[in-house]
Structure 1
């Protein structure tokens, strides 16, 4: 029987553990923290926050993988009346519809954008400068990057299309992402996976294949491999609870600058106590900007879309996420150019910054499936069925 060691108990680690156990391997998972989930943890207590805005896209391969195993669980759909309260900040004011020029970048007949040109240059040729800027900033909801226009046109176009698709691809596990993690952990446990928390690994085992399912920074330190780098975003995360008020926006996309704020209790009232609303936002910041700069921009959006929010706040938290929101691809690069899954000598990488396709958490899923397939030496391994 194969034996596999998985380092990291986040989405990538749990996916790898379940997949390997389904194939008959004996699996041990080591997680450095006291709970599983990685960046998909949901906070305990009255305000069930994730680490920044989280959504599960139904257009990716991980959706089918979760559904086939009964792991999706109950979802919290966006009520139609709430969806109608999406607002866009454009030229300093709130709007209900995007600028017409931006829509040119969403038409069906538009061909694929080039890999080796930045999005701003390519999109300007299609929709003009204002349309290109608005589209790039809207795509930031799936990028967490301060300058989406500087990234590969092909990379941004894919995310823009998926973020604007109708009906929306974004879905929300009821109770927060921690509920999804709990179902995955239970599945792993029932398959016989051994899971050890508060178990930080400083030296790789040599007697089994190892899937390193950590952040790229942690993997670089563990493997002592300075080549394990890839660009990511730097983002201010703002969470707050406010007393409920009719008329609050569902979400606000900043088309003047990259940024997104969403009222998550619009679709899932269990995330905050009765009479309160949970709002989560992500504001990308550049190398020369501070957390205070991002918070100030978030507050500008709140002032526009959540009247009287300052007097209604019951709880608040702020943080900065550095390279913790997935990989971004610069012009001339694709996901294939990121650090390879197979590191040699029985070591495999999984996570959201490695060489695997997908959007945001989908990269963690697909890299984990690839890592297990390689570790078991079974390229024909059926990774779809329970």
Structure 2
């Protein structure tokens, strides 16, 4: 067990894998190409703590159990009732407090099982109607970052919809301080366990001599492993972070059923991520096929005009960006998570990340795949240790 397990990538998946391996007593070395750890879990520096996309946890899976057991998600923030009352749905260019009747019917139909082999739009249009199918897909684009969520597997989209917008109260959790707080705790835990961490270390050749967990995006993994099969389908969205002085008419959460946009106020559940008297929002808008980033941001700012009146004259922080392939894998018709790139690549090499063959959505895939990869790497290490001991005994 003195042979080190190498982890390449210091994001959520890499840190999870490093911690899980180190907890067994094995030696771990982690390499991160950037100067800081955290990957897409990193945030901007205070006083305005903004993330690369929506960063919440869902407390209804093994990933959350693992995080909670180690105290990584302690200190949850909860919205006040007055904030929850400012949720709205954009329908026909107007904001309304309740979703359309067709969406309400779908929300109450959690007992339905959608097919894997059919696209979501076709299935939902047959079950309800074409307009409802479009609105349902647009509502869950907050998870997919995809402008045409209806083209994805019906089973995949329906599961996401029910988890996020179904009749059951969603298990959404927000850690005060954001994902950066969770990342910081994970780094501390890894350090305490003796994990050797090197930042600013870009690995260009696969290490030899022990199990390796590649916890990078698929593009980087494909180049490192020389494996052209490592591809996945992901979303592409424009993001807009805005901090403004608080206003009575500002909305807290808005699902854009017209254009698949989304608006959320993060200070409603965590007032530590912006100065006193300010509200911090993030808005997102999926970028359409052939659409420029500027055009998508223009549509996004139009959504902000409706949800944060006069935001331009009140803003204290403003950041535009785009997010491509940052939402985890999106399953096309005829595929499930089992059809994504396998975690075990053979010869003691394992993949971890949000586009590999593990269940969950977005960051959950990263955690679940990392735990599987860690368990496999430790098992391989033990097998190697036992085999080595047997050889020594025979020699002696």
Structure 1 residue 270, shift from structure 2 partner:
1.0
* Shift in alpha-carbon separation, 1:283–1:379, aligned structure 2, 3 A: farther
CA deviation after TM superposition for structure 1 residue 93, in Å: 0.6
Flag the 1:332–1:38 CA change in 2: closer, same or farther, 3 A: same
Match of 2:251 in 1: 249
- After TM superposition, the structure 1 = structure 2 runs for residues 1-386 of structure 1, keeping only pairs within 5 Å, are 1=1, 2-108=3-109, 110-165=111-166, 166-377=168-379
Deviates more, 1:87-96 or 1:159-168: 159-168
Specify the SS of the correspondent of 2:318.
strand
Contact 1:352 1:362 in 2 (8 A): yes
In the aligned structure 2, how far is the partner of 1:69 from the partner of 1:105? Answer: 37
TM-superposed CA distance for 1:71, in Å, is 1.6
Structure 2, unpaired ranges of 5+: 383-396
SS of equivalent to 1:200: coil
Give the distance between the partners of 1:144 and 1:124, measured in 2 at CA.
Answer: 21
Q: Measure the CA separation in 2 of the matches of 1:302 and 1:269.
A: 21
What TM-score results when the alignment is normalised by the length of structure 2? Answer: 0.93
Tell which deviates more after alignment, 165-174 or 70-79: 165-174
With the length of structure 1 as denominator, give the TM-score of the two structures: 0.95
- Structure possessing the higher radius of gyration over alpha carbons: 2
8 Å CA contact 1:104–1:126 kept in 2: the answer is: no
Structure 1: unaligned runs, 5 residues or longer: 381-386
1:179-214: CA deviations, max 9, x gaps?
Answer: 000111111111111111111111111111100001
1:226 positional shift: 1.2
CA distance in 1, matches of 2:299, 2:253: 15
CA contact under 8 A between 2:46 and 2:273: conserved in structure 1?
A: no
| Matched residue SS, 1:228 | coil
* Contact 2:143-2:327 at 8 Å conserved across structures: no
Is the CA contact (8 Å cut-off) linking 2:77 and 2:175 kept in structure 1?
Answer: yes
Query: Cα–Cα, structure 1 residues 310 and 162, in superposed 2: closer, same or farther, change >3 Å?
Result: same
- Which residue of the partner structure matches residue 388 of structure 2? none
Give the aligned CA root-mean-square deviation in angstroms.
1.5
Question: Would the aligned equivalents of 1:102 and 1:127 in 2 still touch at CA under 8 Å?
Answer: no
Q: Distance in 2 between matches of 1:379 and 1:265?
A: 45
Secondary structure of the residue aligned to 2:227 is coil
Q: Deviations over 1:131-189 (max 9, x none)?
A: 11111111111111111111000000111011114433211110111100011111111
**What CA deviation, in whole Å up to 9, does each residue of 1:19-62 have, x standing for no partner?**
10111211011011111100000111321011112111111221
